[in-house]
Amino acid sequence: MDAAPRSGCPINAAVEALGDQWSLLVLRDIIFGDRRHFRELLAGSLEGIASNILAARLRKLVTAGILSKQDAPRGQRGRYSLTEAGIQTLPILYALGDWGLDWRTGDPELRARQELMRAEGRPFIEAFMDELRARHLGAAPKPRTGGPGPLERLESAHRTAIRPH
């Protein structure tokens, strides 16, 4: 039986079992949570990342060319964006999440996004990467054939899976 992860997220479970969790979890929150500011990342962390660790990981990801930071005037918030290298981490996070679905336990509402991506397969991942390019790099959005985009579908899957308390 596996040790209890910090949260029921399949990506977290896989990263805790296989390597450095914080950088990938910061990327998870930027990609899947669309959190782009330090305070959003800090407050939205399921695993309770400390502010000094978050600051260090963001610096590391910017230095590595995975994120860019748009500096803001005094009194305003700086904004983080994925670079193309950051967008290319999505298939890695997807693979880690699939491993987590198969080999670790977790909360149904946190597994719902991964289950949707698994059910939809590679075309969904490619469409999601295109959506990330539009959101983070300013690329022209690809035309959709109707219906919500990948991020909206992932958010809906999560909301639908949340159990009433």
Q: What count of other Cβ atoms lies within 10 Å of the Cβ of residue 105?
A: 14
Q: Is residue 22 part of a domain?
A: yes
Angstrom distance (rounded) from CA 154 to CA 33: 10
The residue segments making up the domain with residue 148 are 10-161
What pLDDT score does 29 carry?
Answer: 96
- pLDDT beyond 80 at 128: yes
Q: Is residue 142 part of a domain?
A: yes
Q: Is residue 2 part of a domain?
A: no
Which region holds residue 24: left if phi is over 0, alpha if psi is between -120 and 50, else beta? alpha
Q: Is residue 3 part of a domain?
A: no
Q: What total number of domains does the chain contain? A: 1
Q: What count of other Cβ atoms lies within 10 Å of the Cβ of residue 143?
A: 6
Q: Is residue 115 part of a domain?
A: yes
Structure tokens at 123: 């075309």
CATH classification of the domain holding 66: 1.10.10.10
pTM of model > 0.75:
yes
pLDDT classification of 16: cutoffs 50, 70, 90:
low
- pLDDT beyond 60 at 149: yes
